[in-house]
Amino acid sequence: MIGQADSSVPPMLALAPMQDVTDLAFMRTLTRIHCLPDFWMTPYFRSTRTTCAMSEGPLRCIVENPAGIPVWAQLAGSTAVALLRDAEALMQLPVAGINLNVGCPSPLVNRHGAGAGLLRKLPLLREIALALRAQLPPGAWSVKCRIGWERAEEFSRVLDALCDSHPDMLIVHARTRKQRYAGEPCRAAVRLAVQHARCPVFANGDIQSMDDAGEWLQTVQPAGLMIGRGLVRNPYLLRQLRGGSAATPGEMQEYYATLLEETGRFLERYTPSGHCNRMKKYLAFCYRDFPTEAEYKLRRCIDPSEMGRLLQLSRAGFSAS
């Protein structure tokens, strides 16, 4: 089973792409606090017939890649012609390869047949996958998919459509489009991918702790784990997964302070409330670690200095007046 982990080798660890969250500010923060995944993946570039998809946010993740670790460029689209055109353009940049998004559940994206919409058109998905495979060099073609549109039983056919193109890496968000971001991830589906795909398979979906990761590794034995919300909440999980120590309260304070600083650097037009609103995109995945009183204040905060103070106090035992 090539998609499976060699149990003597630690699993590969990847940061999941998250539009407006795993951006350059977040990448720079992880670099500064020395919590690095084995590779990054950009949030998706939208590929349409008429538009070249070079949106600035994901593009900066590539050209200003702070840590020099590989970065994959992700494309979301529904026509082979546009995807090939944009894949070719992106391959001129310093990327590890191209990843096709077969999971985005946005109604707007799906209405155009892209993201998870491709799960409803498997012949088209197969055609696109084969075309990208033919164009991309060895090692540079990968897919990130959900396990079906409505039901996990769809996944074996999805897998067939994808595996015909021999991807170099497969990342499975173990949920259907119907489940969006909640509900139990289906381990059996990822196990199926590990058994059938002839490439490294990454498991993705609600890995928030060492216990979650351990369960995936024991029951599914993927070659790697891709983690999104869990790393925004606690980037030091990467260190723990590599056998290191858990985050101390001081390190979490440093993380929040660094993120606040980096976030402020990347606003198009700086306003204090805009800065706080940007921070709240990340904090949405962190509030559960704060006392209710702190969450209440953070959600309403419009002053970055006050936000910084609340974040520091909160982790040290919240008692802000």
Q: Tokens for 8?
A: 């003597």
Q: Tokens for 100?
A: 């096709």
The mark string for 137-176 relative to ligand FMN (x by CB under 6 A, - otherwise) is -------x----------------------------x---
Strands 45-47 and 12-15: unpaired
Q: Name which of residues 277 to 316 contact ligand FMN (CB under 6 A).
A: none
Cβ-count burial of 43 within 10 angstroms (0-12 exposed, 13-18 middle, 19+ buried)? buried
- Taking CB under 6 A as the criterion, the residue among 26, 39, 40, 44 binding ligand FMN is 44
From the centroid of its chain, how far is CA 51? 24
Minimum CB distance to ligand FMN, residue 40 (Å)? 12
Three-class secondary structure assignment of 30-84: HHHCCCCCCEEECCCEEECCCCCCCCHHHHHHHHCCCCCCCEEEEEEECCHHHHH
The mark string for 62-91 relative to ligand FMN (x by CB under 6 A, - otherwise) is ------------x-----------------
CA distances from 51 to 46, 55, 83 (A): 8, 10, 11
Contact range with ligand FMN by CB under 6 A, out of 194-202, 227-235, 237-245, 257-265:
227-235
Of 297 and 298, CB closest to ligand FMN: 298
- Taking CB under 6 A as the criterion, the residue among 78, 101, 179, 221 binding ligand FMN is 101
CB of 207 within 8 A of CB of 227? yes
Nearest residue to 77 (alpha-carbon basis) of 38, 57, 49: 49
Contact range with ligand FMN by CB under 6 A, out of 100-108, 213-221, 255-263, 289-297:
100-108
Minimum CB distance to ligand FMN, residue 135 (Å)? 20
Binding site for ligand FMN (CB under 6 A): 16-19, 21, 43-44, 74, 101, 103-104, 144, 173, 181, 204-207, 227-230
